[in-house]
A and B are shown apart, each in its own frame.
Chain A
Amino acid sequence: MALTSKGPASEVHADDLERFRPAVTRYLSNKLGGGGLVIRSMRLLSGGAIQENWLLNVSVTGGSWSGEHQWVLRTDSLSAVDVSMSRSDEYAVLNVVHKAGVNVPEPLWLCRDRGIIGREFFVMQAIGGTAAGHRLVRDSRLVPDRPKLCWELGRNLALIHQVRPPQKDLDFLPEPVPDPAMASIQQYLGFLDALGRHFPVIEWGLRWLLINKPEPVASCLIHRDFRTGNFMVDEGRLSGILDWEFTGWGDWREDIGWFTAKCWRFGRGNPEAGGIGELADFMEGYATVSSKDLSSAELRYWQVMAHVRWAIVAVQQSERHLSGQQRSLELALTGRMVPELELEILELTEGVE
């Protein structure tokens, strides 16, 4: 899990964590089944208002785990309201993709017993590096070899997409639908209708998506938030893909549209592969696992889908603020991002069949 900041810190103090130290120590000692265990330090990592990540520095003496370890305990924050995926579901997803060879923090143990820290949690290996998108796209010291990183990202995404339904361990995911694009369009129209305001450009984007809808392809596991900012890079190499809470069955092209959408290039208009590098390098990595072609029309289609989705989420986030559900300057400002997403929808759809 991320060792460095992905966003503003949540409001938990060191003392709050400290009181769980004896219980977590006992839990981990039991899991190791031998050897002595000491938690040398535990602190809350910044980022994430819905989930908390506690970094544990652990010393183990004796047994197969003997040595120093850095683990992350991931749990729901006490103020979590609308959790999209439970920690046990997320643990199952991590397990499946880890077994599929995807570069993720290795999941270690899941604890459903709320008697330990009052909430479900799981423990995984900590990973190093940074996920900060605005730095990764600009700072060549962080990414000295951009083609290589793009290649790794492409290969890892293809490995995720190799996971096909049905999967017994993922039976909590909604069933695959015959036409994911159509399902998304209908879902987003429903979201629009639930808002008190009207957005003709987003409406146009959805209409264009309907008119230009491609033939559905076989569903696979998709990440649904695969973008710069949601993977860690350590010494120029991919160290782990994060934030699996939107994962589900869907169209593999959706992930590539989201990853390459201009809104996720952190202000760098080009290059197309998440502001990091060239799409050709990314697709070359993808092709080492799965030989799939993506036409420029398909790419454009799923980029429109990405901007429409992000525009609707941006409106929803501003509504969270406006309704008083969660007063936040960040959420309020997100509402003011909608016009730039709308401009991109117009750019992508204009003059295209």
Chain B
Amino acid sequence: MNSPDANELLTVASETLLSRILPAVPKDLEYDVRMIARAMAISSRECGKGRSIEEAEYDVLSGLVNRKHGCLDAAEMRKSLSQAIRSGLYDEHGPNRNALLEALRAITKGELELCNPKLVDCKKGPG
């Protein structure tokens, strides 16, 4: 395994961009530099824990989606779940809907760990 790894390289590159380059660029490019830093930060987190978050999402979806059609991948399970929601399977209050919402919250929080982690901890929620 290469060291420092992609996560570490992107993190330090993004820090350098913000601390050294940003102050030196013309004002009309500041927004672009900030966007580049944000893209690097997301990519860095994804390199670090993207795989484990993907696996966690797969487990959550598997717990919810009836896999009678064999082994579905995550994209297929998302499709199947979306169809079930649209068909009204979760309209009634009760354990079924609670399980759906708990799963959706867990998946969304996983994605936020990558995209905007500061939102993960400050939100209320059952899970």
Contact = CB atoms under 8 A, between A and B. Distances in A.
Nearest to A192: B82
A135 B104 CA distance: 34
A343 B123 contact: yes
Nearest to B113: A339
A207 B32 contact: no
B35 interface: yes
Contact of A343 (B81, B88, B91, B112): B112
Given A340-B116, A346-B101, A203 B82 contact: yes
A321 to B, nearest CB: 12
B85 A203 contact: yes
Interface residues of B, number: 35
Which of A207, A329, A332: most chain B Cβ within 10 A? Answer: A207
B49 interface: no
Interface in B3-33: 28, 31-32
B101 A350 contact: yes
Contact of B119 (A9, A206, A338, A340): A340
Nearest to A342: B108
Most buried by A among B39, B81, B82: B82
Interface in B74-97: 75, 78-79, 81-82, 85-86, 88, 90-91, 93
Contacts of B105: 343, 346, 350
Contacts of B101: 204, 346, 349-350
A8 B32 contact: yes
Interface stretch (A193-201, A228-236, A247-255): A193-201
Interface residues of A, number: 32
B47 interface: no
Given A333-B38, A337-B116, A342-B104, 12 more contacts: A200-B82, A203-B82, A204-B100, A204-B104, A207-B90, A329-B39, A337-B115, A340-B119, A343-B109, A343-B119, A346-B108, A346-B125
Interface of A: 7-9, 46, 189, 192, 197-201, 203-204, 206-207, 211, 329-330, 332-333, 336-340, 342-343, 346-347, 349-350, 353
Interface of B: 28, 31-32, 35-36, 38-39, 42, 75, 78-79, 81-82, 85-86, 88, 90-91, 93, 100-101, 104-105, 107-109, 111-112, 114-116, 119, 123-125
